């Protein structure tokens, strides 16, 4: 099954998936002609990493006129919708079920903002990358097997999107297509841990402080805590449970 026609539905499909979307003026009429049919999504990185990477994708380079992809994915997970027509993003290459050396006319390109060394992906961006791919593939009736890295397709030595394990990525995209929530990848977990460590210090270093905030300053024994005087000797959890219990009785 293939979707025939231009994807003028891109912005709506991404929004329906709960993603942030910024529509660029004129995107529905921007492109190098019309699609033959749409068979998948080709994943890229911009190799810049700056806030103005989208300008090159929309306007092109001296050696290649824009638009260079239908979508740009920012670090905060926002999608910029650049074009609905064909874009110059694929180059020469092949993938099962796609025409050899002609993927521009059959795939939607996503340029994710990144330096291109695999070190600067954000959790929000990776999550939006998977959710966006899943939403598009669901719309065109394809599976995650048609979610492809440029490096997997290319015969020209491309490396993008660097640092993303595509087998893991596709498994998470397929889970989303099937209506399941994608688990965080090992890379995303590490990024969250690194963020927490940078913001709060080494994980575990403040456990005692957190415990005291929740349970009170004075431990009574290994399994019970003294609670807070201002909460009637209750822990935070016990105090919340008491509030909920009283609210339920009022509603009864």
Predicted confidence (pLDDT) per residue in 108-163, tens digit: 999 999 999 999 999 999 999 999 999 999 999 999 999 999 999 999 999 999 99
Contacts of 188 (CB under 8 A, 6+ apart): 123, 126, 127
> Which pLDDT score is estimated for 89?
98
In a 10 Å sphere around its CB, with 0-12 CB exposed, 13-18 middle and 19+ buried, how is residue 130 labelled? buried
190 pLDDT more than 80: no
Taking residues 236-247, what's their average pLDDT? 73
Residues in a beta bridge with 20: none
Structural domains of the chain, with CATH:
10-192 (3.40.80.10), 206-251 (no CATH)
Comparing C-alpha atoms, which of 117, 110, 115, 152 is closest to residue 131? 110
> Which pLDDT score is estimated for 1?
53
Question: For the chain, where are the alpha helices, taking DSSP H only?
Answer: 10-16, 53-59, 123-140, 150-153, 166-177, 186-200, 207-215, 236-251
Predicted confidence (pLDDT) per residue in 75-95, tens digit: 999 999 999 999 999 999 999
């Amino acid at each position: 099954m293939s979707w025939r026609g231009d994807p003028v539905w891109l912005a709506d499909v991404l929004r329906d998936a709960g993603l942030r979307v910024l529509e660029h003026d004129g995107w529905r009429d921007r492109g190098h002609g019309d699609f033959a049919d749409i068979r998948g999504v080709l994943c890229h990185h911009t190799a810049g990493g700056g806030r103005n990477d989208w300008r090159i994708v929309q306007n092109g380079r001296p050696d290649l006129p824009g638009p260079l992809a239908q979508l740009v994915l920012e670090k905060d997970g926002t999608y910029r919708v650049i074009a609905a027509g064909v874009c110059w993003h694929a180059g020469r290459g092949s993938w099962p079920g796609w025409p050899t050396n002609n993927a521009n006319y059959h795939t939607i390109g996503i340029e994710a903002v990144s330096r291109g060394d695999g070190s600067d992906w954000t959790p929000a961006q990776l999550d939006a990358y998977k959710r966006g791919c899943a939403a598009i593939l669901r719309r065109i009736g394809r599976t995650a097997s048609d979610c492809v890295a440029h490096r997997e397709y290319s015969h020209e030595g491309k490396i993008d999107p660097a640092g993303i394990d595509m087998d893991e990525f596709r498994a998470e995209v397929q889970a989303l297509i099937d209506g399941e929530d994608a688990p965080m990848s090992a890379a995303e977990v590490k990024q969250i841990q690194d963020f927490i460590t940078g913001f709060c210090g080494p994980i575990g270093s403040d456990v005692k402080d957190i415990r005291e905030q929740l349970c009170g300053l004075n431990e009574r024994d290994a399994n019970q805590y003294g609670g807070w005087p201002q909460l009637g000797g209750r822990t935070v959890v016990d105090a919340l449970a008491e509030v909920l219990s009283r609210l339920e009785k009022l509603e009864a």
